[in-house]
Amino acid sequence: MAAIAVAGTMVASALPALASTAPADAGLVAAAEPSVSLNPQLPQECGLNLAMVFDMSNSMSDSDVKTVKTASTQAVAALQGTGTTMGVYSFGTFAKQELAPTSVASSQGTAAVTGSINGIIRPGSSNEMLGGTNWQQALAGVPVNAYDGVIFFTDGLPTFFGSTPLKNGDSQTSGNGGTGQSDDTNVTSSLNAAIPEANRLKDAGTRMIGVGVKGADAARLAKISGPEAGSDFFTTNYDELAKILKDIATAGCTGTLNINKAVEAFDSSVTTPGEGWTFDATPSNAAASVVTTGANGQAGMALDFQAKEPVTVTIKERQQPGYTVVQNGGYNAVCTRDGAPLAVTNTGDAGNVGFEVTAVAGTVTSCTVTNKVPVMAWTMAKTSDATGTVGPGDTINYTVEARNTGERTVDGITFRDDLAGVLVAASFVAGSAKLTVAAGAPSDVTDPLANVLTAGPFSLAKGETAILSYQTLVNDDAYGATLTNSVSGTGTVPPAECAVEKPCTTTDIVTPKPTETAKPTPTPTASAAPSATPTQSATATETATESTSPAATTEAASAPASTTAAAVVNEDLAQTGATATMPLLLGGLLMAGGVTLLLLRRVRRTH
C-alpha cells in the first residue's frame, strides 16, 4: 500500500500502488489512448459487493454534492436486509477510502454506510488545487477482487492524474500529472491515465458503472466503463438520479424475499450476522422451501410474481437451544419494502417464532429476525481451611472453584493464583496442585512460577464445575505473620467474581509467639513469736482483790510479804519481781496443795 499525504482538509488514506505509471514531467501528454477492456456483467443475484466512488471536485457545487449523497443513501436504504456490502470512496485532486466494505444486512450496517456517505468532506476553498478531478487516483484506490461493481459518480471532466500531481505545498500545477485546467490536451492526458486503472478492475471481474451528472460527457464515461448507455454508464439529471441508483443497486433483488438473521449479544443490544440459521418459508402461491443463512447472516428466495399479484409468505425459524426471539414492538421480525417499513403479522405458533409478510413484484422485500444469545456466565470462589487462623508448622489446604452458571459453554477458562503474600511465611507443598474439571480425573498442575500458580485453559459446559486444590506449609518461625493471596480468572467472558480487575483474596493470620511466664520465688514462712501464758487467770485491778473464799483469805494473810510478787502487764498480764523467785514460790505452793492469791496490778508500759 502506498500512503499519499496531502495538506488541507482532505487527507488521503493509504491506497494500493498504481497499476500504471504516470509521466514524470507534467508538461508531457499522457501516453496514447489505451484500449478499453470489456465491461463484465454483474452477477444475477441479490447481495452484491458494491463500491461507491464520489467526485468532490470544485466543479461540484455544495448543492450538487448534497443531491448525490441523498440519492445514494436512498439506494442504500433499499438494500437493507439483503446480502449487499458497500464500500465508500471519494476524490478530488487526491483520493481516499471513506469506508471499507460493510454489509447492509443489518440496520447497524446500513446506518454505517449511510453515515459514511453523509460524512464525506469536500476539499474546500482554502486551496483550490485540492479540488481537482483525478480519475486515475480515484480508480487506483479501489482494490481488485473486492467488489462485483463500482458505481463511479462524476461531473465528467478529469484534470489531474498520477499519485503526486502537485508540487510541494500542493499549490502549484506542475507536478507529475495534469495541470488542473479544462483544456482538451490536459483532460485527454488525465483520461488516458485513468483508463488502465479502470481496465485493471474490469479485467479482474468488477463491472464499472459510470454515473455522470451536470452534463457529463458520455464518451469519457464510456472509456472507463463500456459503450452501452443505460447499462455501462448513465448520464442523468438529479431528478432521475435516485431511481437510477436504486435500479442499479437492486437489479438482482427485485422479486426476492430476503431473510436476515441478527444475533444479539447476551449482555448488550449489539448484533452480529447469524450464520447457519434455518427458516421454513411458505409462499401463498407455491410450495414451502427451506433457506439457511450464510456467513453474512443472509438468505434469499425467489418469489413467483407471474400473475403480478402480491405474495404472502409465512416464515418460521428453527429455533436453536437457549436462544429466544427478540421482538420489536411485539412482532417477531422487522421487514422493509424498498427500505420503507412493512407490516408483519405473528403466526402464534408454538414457541412464537413465526410471522407473515406480503411481497410485491418489482420491489425488494427484506425481513430481519433477531435472537438473543443465551447467557454465558460463570463464577469463581477461593477458600482455605484455616478459617482465618493458623499456627506455625500447620498445613493450609486451598481451594479455587469455578462454576458455569449460564446457558452456554465458557471456553478458555484460566486460573491465576498469586501466592506472593503467602510464600513469604510459608512454603508450597510440591506436587500438591490438582485440577479437576467436571467429572474428569484430577490432573497435575505445575508448581508456582515466580509465586504464581496457573491452571488452565479449560472449558466448562452449562452447570459444570472445576476445582483447583493445593497446599502450603506454614514456616515454624512465622509467628504473627499475615498470609494473603489473590486469585483471578479469565475466559471467553470474565467471571462474575474474581475478575482480573478485582481478584478474590483469602487472609489467614499465624498465631503470635506465646509470652514466657517467670517462675515465682518461694517466700519463707515467718515463725510466730511465743506468747507468755499466765498460769492463773485473774482480773487486774489497781488494788488487791480479796477472795470470797474464807480459806483463801486465811492463807493470804499468813503468807510472808517477801514471797508475794506484783504482776506488771501492758494491756496483757506480765510477771514482775525476781525472775527466780516466782517459779519457786508457785512450785512450793502447788506442792503444798494450797491456793495462793496472786496480787496483780495493771501497769501501762511507757514507750
Tell me the C-alpha distance between 535 and 521, whole Å. 42
Helix (H) or strand (E) holding 19: none
Across 114-123, 182-191, 230-239, least confident range:
230-239
Which residue shows C-alpha cell 511465611? 425
Q: Which of 355, 314, 363, 365 is nearest to 335 (CA)?
A: 365
Q: Are 398 and 383 in contact (CB under 8 A)?
A: yes
Considering 58-72, 118-132, 162-176, 401-415, the range whose residues carry the highest mean pLDDT is: 401-415
Q: What digits encode the pLDDT tens for the residues 413-432?
A: 999 999 999 999 999 999 99
Mean pLDDT across the chain: 81
222-237 pLDDT per residue, tens? 999 999 999 999 998 7
Name the more confident of 287 and 167. 287
From CA 175, how far away is CA 91, in angstroms rounded? 18
The pLDDT of residue 525 is 60
- What pLDDT digit, counting tens, does each position of 541-569 carry? 343 334 444 444 344 444 444 444 443 34
Distance CA 529, CA 483 (A): 64
Query: What pLDDT, on a 0 to 100 scale, did the predictor assign at position 171?
Result: 62
What value does the mean pLDDT take over residues 106-133? Answer: 85
Residue 313 has pLDDT above 90, yes or no: yes
In this structure, how many other beta carbons lie within 10 angstroms of the beta carbon of residue 286?
14
**pLDDT score of 296:** 81
In 3-state terms, what secondary structure has residue 480?
Answer: coil
Q: Taking residues 101-125, report their average pLDDT.
A: 88
Specify the pairing of strand 482-490 against strand 443-444: unpaired
What does the pLDDT read at residue 107?
Answer: 81
Report the C-alpha gap between 10 and 129 in whole angstroms.
Answer: 11
The burial of 523, by beta-carbon neighbours within 10 Å (0-12 exposed, 13-18 middle, 19 or more buried), is given as exposed
What would the DSSP string read from start to end of 429-446?
-TT--EEEETTSPPEE-P
The pLDDT value recorded for residue 302 is 87
Mean pLDDT, residues 251-262 taken together: 86
Highest mean pLDDT, choosing among 284-293, 538-547, 572-581? 284-293
pLDDT exceeds 80 at position 476: yes
Q: How far is CA 433 from CA 416, 427, 467, in A?
A: 13, 13, 10
| Span 349-378, pLDDT tens digits | 777 789 999 999 888 899 999 999 999 999
pLDDT digits (tens, 9 = 90+) for 509-527: 999 988 876 666 666 665 5
Q: Judge contact between 251 and 42, C-beta under 8 A.
A: yes
Query: How many whole angstroms separate alpha carbon 166 and alpha carbon 123?
Result: 15
pLDDT score of 569: 40
Strand partners, 2: 15
Q: Are strands 434-437 and 426-428 parallel, antiparallel or unpaired?
A: unpaired
Q: Are 485 and 421 in contact (CB under 8 A)?
A: yes
